[in-house]
Amino acid sequence: MRKIISLFCLVLPILASADDLQIREDAPDRHIVVKGDTLWDISAKFFKDPWKWPQLWLLNKENVKDPHWIYPGNVIYLDRSSGTLTVNEVPVAQSITASGIVATGEASTAEAAPIAPVIPSNVVKLHPKAQLVAQNTEAIPAIPLNIISSFLSRPLVVETEELDSSPKLVGTYEQRALLSFDDIAYVKDLPHDKGTRWQIYRPSVSFVDPDTDEELGQEVMYLGDATVEKFGDPSTLRITKAVMEIHKGDYFAQATSGYSSNYVPHAPSSTISARVISVYGGVQQAGQRAVITLNKGRRDGIEEGLILGLYQKGEIIKTKGWFTPNIVLPDMRYGLVMVFRVFNKVSYALVMETKLPVQLLDRAGNPD
């Protein structure tokens, strides 16, 4: 029996102010969601400010538990006359025929004429060639999680006080200089109540605030994983994963199952002025989809999902005459970043859009 797809219409009123949410001049009339899409990418096809996609679905960071509710195969329609979007919930393994009829399952020969899918008014009806939408139950994420996944489950930044009290590798079996997979390590000060799974790391880069010279912490390198075989002083651990050589003096952090990736992008509720203090990987410049570190963290009001603009310092135009002050041009916004992991004094952000290379010490602030 032919199944008729269900249609749930999430009426998404565009805000009254054209400055808040503007439709792109080249926006398509519809978009078929495919694997690899993100909510940011989809919104960018229709609107000039893709980070405002929660407004399209009447969502906000307080009431969204899981924003990942769009799936490959869904069809998103744009109604230009009313300024609304509708999402057509497409079932698994369905065919879109040349006539625009959508069907799933095995059709019966005794059925009546097929029924056309419901689409919003004033939407241009396209006539694609026959294609099959494959089964896929993976929801579309807000941003590309494959880029940041390793940053969510590993130690990244430790403060000096935390480093001083962290468990430390003090000895090796048979006095080996370097350890790798399946080797035994002896660790001092390992707590008995934090579980048996641990991650190994090594401090690499010291973060210093460029404005105040305050020590913000140390970025660390992830070296591998270990499992406790016997608690004691020192405790005995076996290396279960090694991505780099491990040796005496390396530190241990409790293994985690990762952090929530249900990001809801939103503007700061107060004035934020941060600086780019590092580009992950040790390079001096960053492009789109690069990970950068900011000199502001949880204590400064930074939180996951925060959208910040990247600004290039305005030029100074020198004027003629001793008593005529120079003209300072305003800072120019050239890109956008989204914060995805926050520590007390620093935070990590993904460069979502940029027209220029991101430079160290560039300013990140409210996306005016």
Q: Which of 254, 289, 318 is the last residue of a domain?
A: 254
Q: Whole-model pTM?
A: 0.76
My answer on whether 4 and 33 are in the same domain is yes
In a shared domain, residues 127 and 67: yes
Q: Which mean pLDDT values do the consecutive 10-residue runs of the chain (368 residues) have? A: 31 38 85 89 87 68 57 83 63 35 36 42 44 52 87 88 93 92 96 94 95 95 96 96 96 81 86 95 89 96 95 81 78 94 96 95 93
277 and 198 fall within a common domain: no
- Mark whether 353 and 226 lie in a shared domain: no
Task: Identify the domain boundary among 123, 142, 161.
Answer: 142
Give yes or no: residues 2 and 135 share one domain: yes
**Domain limit, last residue, from 90, 123, 142:** 142
Distance, in Å, from the CA atom of 200 to the CA atom of 192, rounded to the nearest integer, reads: 17
Is 130 part of a structural domain of the chain?
Answer: yes
d(CA 323, CA 14): 50
pLDDT of residue 66: 54
**Burial group, residue 121, by CB count within 10 angstroms (0-12, 13-18, 19+):** exposed
Q: Are residues 85 and 128 in the same domain?
A: yes
**Domain boundaries, position 289:** 273-365
Burial class (CB in 10 A: 0-12, 13-18, 19+), 236: middle
Site of tokens 């010291």: 206
Indicate whether 265 belongs to any domain: no
Classify residue 344: in a domain, yes or no: yes
CATH number at residue 360: 2.40.10.410
Q: Which residues are registered as beta bridge partners of 104?
A: 3, 94
Q: How many domains does the chain have?
A: 3
